[in-house]
Structure formats: structure tokens, C-alpha cells
Structure 1
Amino acid sequence: MDSILVTGNGPLNGQIPIAGAKNACLTLMPATLLSDEPLTLTNAPRLSDIKTMTALLQSLGAEVSSLQDGQVIAMSSHDLTSQTADYDIVRKMRASNLVLGPLLARFGQAVVSLPGGCAIGARPMDLHVEGLEALGAEIELKDGYLHAKAPGGLKGAVHEMRFASVGATENIVMAATLAKGTTVLKNAAREPEIVDLVECLRKMGAQISGEGSSTIEIQGVDRLHGATHQVVTDRIELGTYMLAPAICGGEVELLGGRMSLVASFAEKLEAAGVSVTETANGLMVARKNGRVRSVDVVTEPFPGFPTDLQAQMMALMCTAEGVSVLEERIFENRFMHAPELVRMGANIEVHGGTATVTGVERLKGAPVMATDLRASVSLILAGLAAEGETTVSRVYHLDRGYEHVVRKLEGVGAKIERIKGQ
């Protein structure tokens, strides 16, 4: 199993190109199921999760081709052979459940495994089910699979979600594009990935308004056609690499970055003493005057502070002046990186959904283990600022969400290498 070796090496300087958004691309790919005409995505990230979604679509009979070194994905669902998403593929990635709405809308039936075999109430798949049932679907859970049908087709409705779930919003919006009549989705998630999905669906002929707000209105159409769409910049990769010069010092330009994607996050960096400015090509991040200041963080749905940047922000706070409190309100069990940071000399106390971090002068390199995608990159960031060597194991998580992480950090002066496992 591969590991990554990081050696603290001082300030970082240069440019890092930011890829297309993983979470956006994983949502856009199932949209091909809504039409029998080709859908082409450009600026696609080259990640293992994209390969998993490719395999899932191909298992349904879709044609999926990776072009231009993986940055273009050409798809066609003109001749699907199945409406069943098998557990063997779905278990690898939660976003696989996003085929449910499109299959149900176009074919009137779908059989989709619960991700990871979880119960409906865990990481709420129930919100997806409630929304689709509001559109007239009949859904039954049998043997770990959701069996969904809409014999007379889906019908528009007014539905208010109990929680602004990103995945449920995406599934319901896609399904509603082919429903009869008008759907009004209230308490909808507002993330940029949803705005990007709607822009793509609109190119395919969907009639949608209100994206980016808490109320989205969809007027159903008879069919959708083909389109070409550029995947939005990955705001989580952007925020992650913004933290590299913040934690190490120096000045790095993030190519393709937009302030609108990370406004609340940038505000926290500014409060900590890190400069964030827009340039003609992206965002410039600089830290030149000693240690950063501690800031408190509460994770919230967009436009609040992203839960997917909480682990990386904790790495920065480990060497900040003062005491910071990080409160996780989106996902439970999302402080599993804290004990690994403590192995590097961090002072962290976790109580339920709250972590209190007392900054130390310097972290020390140590062997640590990644527990999930964002935790893995937080440990790499911590290693960049630590004395000596840090070895991060179980970095297969990293390949799900960050393309060429070693190459990108090496390009701005980091001392980092990937060690191949036996």
C-alpha cells in the first residue's frame, strides 16, 4: 500500500492549477441517463471516484469514453441495458446513488443499492426517498436495495426538504426535469455544484430557475437533448491548496480559483492573518508575517464554512497563536484525523462534535495514518509545516479527491514524494 513522505521545507512559492470539481463531475455524469443523446463534460478531474462512476454507468449500458488525458468525458445513454445499480459498485462511493432520480424519471423504474449497505437513516438517504415519493414514486427497501417505480411517470409537486441535503437536491432536481408539470423544491441546497448541475441541465433543454437559492423551480419537459458542459472549479481542492502557503508561509497563486466559491473560507483565512486576493488568473494566497492567529470554525451548508475543509483547517490551527474551537455540524465522526495530528505534537481535545485546538510553536514529523479523503490531505499539510519527516499511510483515500497532489505541491517547493507499497 502506497504512502506519502513529507519533509518540512519552509515557505512555498509559485502556482498550482486547480482541477474541475469532483463533486460536480460525479453529479453531472449521471445526468447522461436523462437523455438518449450524447453528453460531453470538459475540465473533468482525473480521480478514482470518476473511474468508479464510469464503471457504474457502463454497467447500466451507457457508453463512456475518457479523452484528452481524462479531462474530457464523452457519454451516451442511447441504448441502456439495465436500470439496476449493483452493490459491488455502489458500495465504493456514495455519489453512486445519484443514478436513482435519472433512471426513475426516464424509465419509470430503478433498482439502486444503498451506498455501503447503510440503513436509510444513516447519512440521510431518506431525504432522497421522500423527495422522489413526493413526485409520485413508489419506493420499497428490499435486501439492501431501493426498488423504485413510477408506472404513470413522475408528477410535479411542492416539496420541502427537512435538511438542505446536496445529494437529495441533485437527485430530486434531475428527476423533476422529466416529470409532468411543475416541481417546487424548498429548503434546497445552494452549493456551487448544484448551480453547475442546473446550468448543464439547462443546456440539455431543462426548464429550471432559482438555483443557488433555497427554492428551485423545475418545469418538466418531455425529453432532454445532448450538450457539452465545462465542470466548475473544485472549491475543496482550491481551499486545500490555499492552506498550503497559510501553514508553511510563502505566496502561491491558485490558477482557476474564484472568490465566490470559497468566500466564507477566505474570510476565516483573512481573520487568521493570511492574505487572499483575486488575480487575473485565480487567487493569490500569502502568509509572510509569522504565525497565524487562531479562529473559531463552525461547519455549515454552503455558503457557510465547508465541512470538507474542516480537517485541513484544523491542521492550520495546530500551529496558530491561541486557542481555536472547531464545531462540526454536518457529519458525525469527522474528527478522526485529530488523534493523528496529536501524534505530530498537536494539542487537540475532542468532545462530541467539537474540537478545541491549542496552537503549538511547531509540529514534529511522525508516521500517521489517513482515515478518510480530507483527513489524508490534512496530514500532508501538517507534515509540510512539521520538523523532520512525516509518513502518511493509507493514501488511497487521497486518489479519490486530489489529482497529482505530489506534483502540484512539488511545483511550489514542497519536499514530498509518493512511496510505492510492496
Structure 2
Amino acid sequence: MTSALQITGGVPLEGTIEVRGAKNFVPKAMVAALLGSTPSVLQNVPEIKDVKVVTDLVALHGVEVNNDGQGALTLDPSNVTRARYADIDAHAGDSRIPILLCGPLLHTLGEAFIPDLGGCKIGDRPINYHLDVLRNFGAKVEKLESGIKMSAPNGLHGAKVELPYPSVGATEQVLLSATRARGRTELRGAATEPEIMNLIAVLQKMGAIITVQTDRVIHIEGVEELKGYNHRAMCDRIEAASWGSAALVTGGSIFVKGATQSDMMTFLNVFRKTGGDLDIRDDGIQFSHPGGSLNPLVVETDVHPGFMTDWQQPLVVALTQADGVSIVHETVYENRFGFTRALKGMGANIQLHRDCLGSTPCRFGQSNFVHSAIISGRTPLKAKDIHVPDLRGGFSHLIAALGAEGRSKVTGVELIQRGYERFTSKLEALGANFDVVDA
């Protein structure tokens, strides 16, 4: 695992890289294989930490996982069994995947367990969404010292579920729990991201009956048995967009092989509004700096089909290089601008606000959360030693260092490997000037 990089910035990133299956889809498809009575084959799987975590977790439960070394996984759930709570805890780390294992395991084994994930408390809203969903399906939830135990001795049954917010994780929980539940399920307020639609496609291949209606309503008719699937994972649209922002920050031109227009239309519109050049092809997308000035923007994140929150952080780095004042209003997560502290230390002019500075007031407007940013540019970025705080913020720091004048030491980059496959090899392919060093 790479832990630190010494980066000499100011070198335009130019060349071709390939982006494979989406981090926000592949682990969920691997979990879905637990629902089948026959083996499943998942193709276009990236080599990222989250895939390793899920491989270990399903293997603990008796799933045989074979990797052909070319990006295809075969998952055989013929011998699903219980796992020791301590082993689940040890392999989960800070991943929330064990939450999504619950529905399939309750169907197959009648019980499931969630460790205390990364110090999460029971009252945290994301945990509550999942627990409420599982209770609606008939699961009994018991808090243990080491985590949460769930049981369903009488099996799961269909339910009416209405989410207070279109949570991706909670929508996935409903889909994975309802497909084999007795009776019908109606989900209102569902997330409809491309990763969700890809998961629905997988479940339909397995034999599920799922109808997606207008106004975020999904109907699922439970079936007694599902078979395995053969599916090619969608491209990681977050990684593809991150490299697009990297092209703007460094003044380069990057062809992202595998990037798909249909999953990235909102990002592509914003990229073009900055003045960036696009060449959209059947096999990928070319992202290029225009060679002149970048335009400032007003951007609001939102659930699909809005501007994705995971696109926001790399874009903020690019907007520090635009001529004028940009505004970014974060409406999905209440605390996603912490990464800007490092950017300000590198010379960026960024002011954070608690008010809704976009055109639409959001659910954080009456709270005390800092969720809007004003970025004044263009400001040259200066090299600085940075420690990576999280996955998306970390990649944003990385591209800031690549665009900065001088040498930056970036530590904690192993976090980036959670969701960006072989990113140091990709940096080499794009001509970045860096060395792997001790932390």
C-alpha cells in the first residue's frame, strides 16, 4: 500500500487512462450474489480496497469467490453459513457494507450482524434509515455490546417504505431485502442514481420483479427464488469526473477510457460551462483544458439527476483556477467542505458559509452546518505538505498538489486506494512528476 507521495506540481497531465467498475456499485452487486441459488459472474471489477473488504466478508459467510485476474469475479453462494461476530468486525474495518449484507443473510440464515462501524452510533441518521427499513420487513433488531444483531425467524415480508430523503444506501437496502420477501413492497422517496438502476438490472437478471415508476416510486414483487447473474459493471463516473477535474487543474488533456456519457451528463454540462473542452466518444471521454481562462460557476449538488456530491470536491479545486467568483452549495452532505482548509493553506481564496448560497434553499438552511462555499480566483496554488482526510477529499488534495508550484508531500494516500484503482500507475501514464516516499 502506498502511504506517501512527493509531488512536483505544475506538470500538465496528458495521456490515456482506463476507469473500470464503479466503487458505488460493484460491492453492492457482490452482496446481491448472496440472494442467488446459483453462482454469479461480475465483470469489469476494479482492484480497490472496498472490493477486497467485501470479498473477505462474503467469504466469511461461506461464499466461494474466484478472481480470474482480468477483472471478473465468480461468486458461488451454495454454502452460505454464519460467521463469528468478531471476524465480521475484524474484516469490516470502517466499511458500511455489513449493513447491506443484512437483507440477504436474513433471507438465507434468518440472522445477521452489524459491527460498530467506524465508531458509528445507533442514532446516526444513515444507520437509522437501514434499521427502520429492516424493521418494516419484519426483522428484530437487538443492540449488543459489539454491534447490532438482527433476526427474522419467520422470514421477511413485503412492506410500504417511505424514505424522508432519497438515500442511496437505504434504497439499496430495500431492494436487497424486498426481492425475496413475501408479498409486495412499495418504496417511496427512492434514490434513482445510475448505480441504483444498475443494481436493479442485476436483480432483474436474477429473476426479481421490480418496477420503477415516476416520482421516485419503486414496486417490488417478492419471489421465492433468485438465480445467479452475469453482469458487466458500469464505469465509475466519480473517478472519471475526478480525472476530468484534474485535467482542468493541471492544464492538461486526459482521455478516460470507459467513461460513459449517459451516466455523466450533468457533470459534462458543468465541465463545458467552465470552458473545458470535451470529446465524447463511444469508448470514453477526452477532458481537456481550453488553453485560456476558465469560467466561474454557480453549482449546487443534489441527488440524481442533479450534480453529484462526489463530483464537488475535485471541481472546487478546478474553480480556484477560474477567473472570477464561483459559488458551490452542498445540499447532500452537511459537512463536506473540511477539505478546503488544505486548499486555503496552498493559496486558494475560499470562504465558507452556513447560509444556502444557491438558488434553492436546502434542508441545511435552518441549521448551523457550513454547507456553502465562495471561491474567488484565479489563485496560483503553492506546494504544501498535506495529509489525506478521506477518499474524495484526498483525491482533491492530490490534484491540487499536481497543479501547485513546487514540491508537496501528500501522506495518507492509502485512503485514495479505497476507490481509485491503481491511481499511482495512472499518474505515471499521464506524466505526473512524483516519487513514492516513506510517510
* TM bracket, shorter-chain basis: over 0.9
2:378 is matched with: 360
Whether 2:26 is the aligned partner of 1:25: answer yes
Alignment of 1:16-415 (within 5 A): 16-69=17-70, 71-82=71-82, 86-210=88-212, 214-351=216-353, 352-415=370-433
- Tell me if the contact between 2:57 and 2:91 (Cα under 8 Å) persists in the aligned partners: yes
- Tell me if the contact between 1:156 and 1:179 (Cα under 8 Å) persists in the aligned partners: yes
TM-score normalised according to structure 2 size: 0.91
One-letter amino acid of the structure 2 residue matched with residue 397 of structure 1: L
What is the rounded CA distance, in whole Å, between the counterparts of 2:209 and 2:215 in structure 1? 16
Measure how far apart 1:144 and its partner are: 4.8
Measure how far apart 1:83 and its partner are: 5.7
One-letter amino acid of the structure 2 residue matched with residue 161 of structure 1: L
Secondary structure of 1:163's counterpart equals coil
Measure how far apart 1:89 and its partner are: 2.6
- Tell me if the contact between 1:40 and 1:74 (Cα under 8 Å) persists in the aligned partners: yes
- Tell me if the contact between 2:48 and 2:419 (Cα under 8 Å) persists in the aligned partners: yes
Q: Tell which deviates more after alignment, 78-87 or 126-135.
A: 78-87
2:367 is matched with: none
Secondary structure of 1:124's counterpart equals helix
One-letter amino acid of the structure 2 residue matched with residue 403 of structure 1: E
- Tell me if the contact between 1:84 and 1:110 (Cα under 8 Å) persists in the aligned partners: no
Which deviations, in whole Å up to 9, do the C-alpha atoms of 1:371-390 show, x marking residues without a partner? Answer: 00111111111122211112
- Tell me if the contact between 1:102 and 1:171 (Cα under 8 Å) persists in the aligned partners: no
Measure how far apart 1:66 and its partner are: 2.1
What is the rounded CA distance, in whole Å, between the counterparts of 1:62 and 1:206 in structure 2? 21
What is the rounded CA distance, in whole Å, between the counterparts of 1:211 and 1:390 in structure 2? 50
Secondary structure of 1:22's counterpart equals coil
Closer, same or farther: CA 138–264 of 1 in aligned 2, 3 Å: same
What is the rounded CA distance, in whole Å, between the counterparts of 1:132 and 1:415 in structure 2? 49
Which deviations, in whole Å up to 9, do the C-alpha atoms of 1:244-295 show, x marking residues without a partner? Answer: 2222223322111112212222221111111223113111222223231121
- Tell me if the contact between 1:84 and 1:112 (Cα under 8 Å) persists in the aligned partners: no
The runs of 5 or more residues in structure 1 that have no matched partner are none
- Tell me if the contact between 2:18 and 2:258 (Cα under 8 Å) persists in the aligned partners: yes
Q: Tell which deviates more after alignment, 117-126 or 293-302.
A: 117-126
Secondary structure of 1:355's counterpart equals strand
Identical counterparts, % of pairs = 35
Q: Tell which deviates more after alignment, 21-30 or 33-42.
A: 33-42
Secondary structure of 1:178's counterpart equals coil
2:357 is matched with: none
Closer, same or farther: CA 43–227 of 1 in aligned 2, 3 Å: same
Closer, same or farther: CA 107–201 of 1 in aligned 2, 3 Å: same
Which aligned runs of 4 or more in structure 1 are off by greater than 6 angstroms? none
- Tell me if the contact between 1:95 and 1:167 (Cα under 8 Å) persists in the aligned partners: no
Q: Tell which deviates more after alignment, 212-221 or 307-316.
A: 212-221
What is the rounded CA distance, in whole Å, between the counterparts of 1:410 and 1:290 in structure 2? 26
2:16 is matched with: 15
One-letter amino acid of the structure 2 residue matched with residue 364 of structure 1: K
- Tell me if the contact between 1:97 and 1:115 (Cα under 8 Å) persists in the aligned partners: no
What is the rounded CA distance, in whole Å, between the counterparts of 2:399 and 2:213 in structure 1? 34
One-letter amino acid of the structure 2 residue matched with residue 260 of structure 1: S
- Tell me if the contact between 1:194 and 1:212 (Cα under 8 Å) persists in the aligned partners: no
What is the rounded CA distance, in whole Å, between the counterparts of 1:310 and 1:66 in structure 2? 33
What is the rounded CA distance, in whole Å, between the counterparts of 2:159 and 2:278 in structure 1? 43
Closer, same or farther: CA 279–212 of 1 in aligned 2, 3 Å: farther
Closer, same or farther: CA 212–314 of 1 in aligned 2, 3 Å: farther
Secondary structure of 2:278's counterpart equals strand
TM-score normalised according to structure 1 size: 0.94
Which deviations, in whole Å up to 9, do the C-alpha atoms of 1:370-413 show, x marking residues without a partner? Answer: 10011111111112221111221111111101111122132223
Kindly report the root-mean-square deviation, in angstroms, between the aligned alpha carbons of the 2 structures: 1.9
What is the rounded CA distance, in whole Å, between the counterparts of 1:48 and 1:205 in structure 2? 30
Measure how far apart 1:10 and its partner are: 3.7
One-letter amino acid of the structure 1 residue matched with residue 296 of structure 2: S
2:364 is matched with: none
One-letter amino acid of the structure 1 residue matched with residue 418 of structure 2: R
Measure how far apart 1:420 and its partner are: 4.4
One-letter amino acid of the structure 1 residue matched with residue 437 of structure 2: I
- Tell me if the contact between 1:106 and 1:178 (Cα under 8 Å) persists in the aligned partners: no
Measure how far apart 1:212 and its partner are: 9.1
Measure how far apart 1:178 and its partner are: 0.4
What is the rounded CA distance, in whole Å, between the counterparts of 1:301 and 1:120 in structure 2? 25
- Tell me if the contact between 1:240 and 1:312 (Cα under 8 Å) persists in the aligned partners: yes
Measure how far apart 1:213 and its partner are: 6.5
One-letter amino acid of the structure 2 residue matched with residue 72 of structure 1: A
2:434 is matched with: 416
- Tell me if the contact between 1:5 and 1:391 (Cα under 8 Å) persists in the aligned partners: yes
What is the rounded CA distance, in whole Å, between the counterparts of 1:419 and 1:320 in structure 2? 32
Measure how far apart 1:230 and its partner are: 0.9
Q: Tell which deviates more after alignment, 122-131 or 136-145.
A: 136-145
Measure how far apart 1:138 and its partner are: 2.3
Q: Tell which deviates more after alignment, 59-68 or 195-204.
A: 59-68
